[in-house]
Structure 1
Amino acid sequence: MHSFPQHLLDGHANFMSGRYAREKERIRDLAETGQKPTTLIIACCDSRAAPEMIFDAGPGELFVLRNVANLVPIYQPDGGQHGTSAAIEFAIKGLSVSNIVVMGHGRCGGIKAALDPHMKPLDSGDFIGKWMSMLGDLPGQLGQNTAMTDAERQTAMERISIRNSIRNLRTFPYVKSLEDKGQLAVHGAWFDISTGELWIMDNDGDFIRPQL
């Protein structure tokens, strides 16, 4: 049997002597009373783009859903096992969040794979390829734009994907209903790993840097 990774044990020791020691009462209160986050963040699995770090959030403040390339499927209650849809359902129906943020990021590996027609599957199951296929022909359309560099196409696709996920999110009946009643707000954001900058989507679907 392999030994548990030492760097994780060291990290937990630091957590116990640092953040846990400072926020002990708050954390114990969360354990007793349950979580009450007001925001669902749908983000990528990429280890460089952790929402809790980006938004400097403490325990219980964010309900975070992470998957490859921060994609949202369409509402499809077909009896299958849908992890992303289950988390969305719980955040809205169980936790009554008032904000949903779909957050993409620069240098996304999933988006890079979707844009590369010659990319070979990592495994015969090709779970990544099947997952990214929910973008449809959007990567192909963008790939035909030869006036753009590879880096420009990558950034553009990362942002187009956010808009696509928000469209899919609105196929969930309760998302659209709560949004129409003003009880839920849906947002898009894009994080630049290199600079730490956050770009947010405006009402026209364009990405702008907020004034800090």
Structure 2
Amino acid sequence: MRCVADETNKRTLPATGWAVLGLLSFGEELSGYDLKKWSDLSLRFFYWSPSFSQIYSELRRLEKAGYATSRRIGHDTGTRDKRVYRITDEGMAAVREWARQAPVDPPVLKHGPMLRLWLGHLLEPEQMREVLLQQQDFAEDMRRRAAADAEAARADPAWAYPALTLKWAERYYASERDLAAAMLDDIEALGGSAPGQSIGLPS
């Protein structure tokens, strides 16, 4: 029986590998540039967007595993040839099995503004308000971008579920925007709490 950690076990892909294979599962031949563009239009709103180096590294891994194939295509315009990738039947079966059976990891929150708020006793009140105002602006910008990408995704029937995921992202960032506004009100309600005040851990 193969060891789970054995590199020869095709199913031991990192999360980035499954994400790239998932992009290929939509059934088109895609270049590394296409994959980066598609991940920026969808994955970045709820997971992360792999770098070009990560994408090409995973594509090599997927080809070695037999989950993807590639070929070079030329251009009539005289520009440089590019390599495009397509998922194999084995790759489609693997990513389908992973999506259906792999444990779903709970989200892990790494929230810079919340960390800064936690250390708010070390900041001046105006500094803390500025952090939250920036978070409001960031969340609203992400909400607008997710909404625009969701609208574009709805034009392609194959992207029905990515469009729904982007709708989730739109709602998530709307809630982040509103939470930052609520925290601004909460800071005002603190009133006389002095910045730099020494605090102890709760017993």
Which has more strand, going by share of residues?
A: 1
Bigger Cα Rg: 2
Which has more helix, going by share of residues?
A: 2
Q: TM-score normalized by structure 2?
A: 0.27
Q: TM-score normalized by structure 1?
A: 0.26
Which structure carries more relative contact order (alpha carbon 8 Å, separation 6+)? 1
